[in-house]
Each structure stands twice: as structure tokens, then as C-alpha cells.
């Protein structure tokens, strides 16, 4: 399915974030100017990467093909040209501001929030605050690589009360989280980059979205 896109700068407590909005061709617009859709993905990038990561690109294409909207969010530090981001609380406040702006001015749709790696962690920590219908985690970094002495990030996943999909590489040095009542885990070939079998990543997300958004 073809799509149309635009970029929106959003002022947040951490600076200006940038939301790249992709809408399926033919998306209708309500009287308030928001796109009316059956659902939309709002996805964040990893700590040292950008929105052009192969898994994010593939998942975006899947969502558009299903008639859903997609928003790829660049955190303020990336917009400012920095490679290293702030700690989690700062990422969270910026993310919440972007999602609030999207709800108020851009999208009239149930939102599935998520992202890859650090972006997935942010989506998990803020799922309740952003009113997410579901959460999509690509390469969730469960345990700091090579640091078994540091705390696990699994509680961030466990705290999410809405349907969650984790797509994880089988050899990811950050580990593979377990499935749980609200959480499905799809293990694919490859490591943390999820580049080895991108079609498998896309297929897992396509199946999950088809089963999840009607319930949401």
C-alpha cells in the first residue's frame, strides 16, 4: 500500500523531538484535522541508532500495508545531533509529550507504542501514561550485555498491562525475555540488530497486529 508522509517538530521538556508521520493512502481526516485510522504504530529508535534501522523500516511497511498509520519518533538528543542520549526519565518525559501531541493534533486512532532496544524500554515504562492499546518491543535489552551484576530490565516489561509483543534475536547478548500472560515473545535468527532475518521480524509483527488491534 502506498503512503504519504510529513514531519512534525514537537516541543518537549527535553527539547525538540521530531515525529515522522506516515499515513496509508486514502486515510480519512476528521473535522478536527486528525487522521482517522483503525490504529497506528508510534515507534522509537535505539540508544545509538536512528529511525532508519532495518527492523523499524520493515515493521513500518507492514503497518502501512495493513492500513495503519506509523509515526517514527526521533528523541530530542538525536534531533540536536547528539549520539548519546540522557537517562531513562528524560527519554520518558519527551516520549510522553510527543504521544500527547500526536493524540491531540495528528491521530484519531488506538496507538500501539514501541520501538527497538532503548525505544522499546521507553514505551514499556510509559505505556500506562500514554494510554497505549498495545506495546511492540524490537530487541528489548533485558540484561546489560556481559554485566550479570547489574539489575535486569525485565520489571519494565512485566509492568506493561496491555498486549505486548517482543521480537528478539536468538543470539542477542542482552538475552531473551520469557513470555508472560500479556506478553508474546517471538525469537528469530540473529542478534540484537535483528538484521539477519528481517522478513521473519515483519511476519511476526504482521500476525500479532492482525490479532491484537481488533481486541484493542
Residue 140 has a pLDDT of 98
Average pLDDT of every residue of the chain: 94
Asked if residues 30 and 94 have their Cβ atoms less than 8 Å apart, the reply is no
Of 62 and 146, the structure prediction assigns the larger pLDDT to 62
Number of Cβ atoms within 10 Å of the Cβ of 215: 9
Strand ranges inside the chain, DSSP E? 3-12, 15-24, 28-29, 35-36, 40-44, 69-74, 107-108, 111-116, 134-138, 164-169, 183-188
Give per-residue pLDDT as tens, 61-101: 999 999 999 999 999 999 999 988 888 899 999 999 999 99
Angle between helices 88-101 and 118-125 (to 10 degrees): 70
Give the pTM.
0.95
Q: Distance from first CA to last CA of the chain, Å, rounded?
A: 23
Amino acid at each position: 500500500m502506498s503512503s504519504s508522509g510529513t514531519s512534525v517538530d514537537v516541543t518537549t521538556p527535553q527539547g525538540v523531538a521530531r515525529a515522522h508521520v506516515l499515513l496509508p493512502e486514502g486515510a480519512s481526516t476528521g473535522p478536527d484535522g486528525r487522521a482517522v485510522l483503525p490504529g497506528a504504530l508510534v515507534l522509537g529508535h535505539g540508544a545509538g541508532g536512528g529511525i532508519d534501522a532495518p527492523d523499524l523500516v520493515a515493521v513500518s511497511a507492514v503497518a502501512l500495508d495493513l492500513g495503519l498509520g506509523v509515526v517514527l519518533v526521533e528523541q530530542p538528543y538525536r534531533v540536536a545531533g547528539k549520539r548519546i542520549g540522557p537517562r531513562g526519565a528524560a527519554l520518558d518525559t519527551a516520549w510522553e509529550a510527543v504521544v500527547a501531541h500526536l493524540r491531540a493534533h495528528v491521530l484519531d486512532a488506538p496507538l500501539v507504542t514501541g520501538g527497538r532496544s532503548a525505544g522499546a524500554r521507553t514505551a514499556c515504562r510509559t505505556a500506562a501514561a500514554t494510554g497505549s492499546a498495545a506495546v511492540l518491543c524490537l530487541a528489548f535489552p533485558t540484561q546489560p550485555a556481559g554485566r550479570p551484576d547489574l539489575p535486569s530490565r525485565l520489571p519494565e516489561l512485566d509492568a506493561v498491562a496491555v498486549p505486548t509483543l517482543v521480537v528478539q534475536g536468538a543470539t542477542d547478548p542482552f538475552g531473551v525475555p520469557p513470555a508472560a500472560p500479556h506478553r508474546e515473545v517471538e525469537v528469530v535468527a540473529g542478534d540484537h540488530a535483528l538484521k539477519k532475518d528481517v522478513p521473519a521480524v515483519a511476519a511476526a509483527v504482521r500476525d500479532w497486529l492482525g490479532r491484537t488491534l481488533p481486541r484493542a
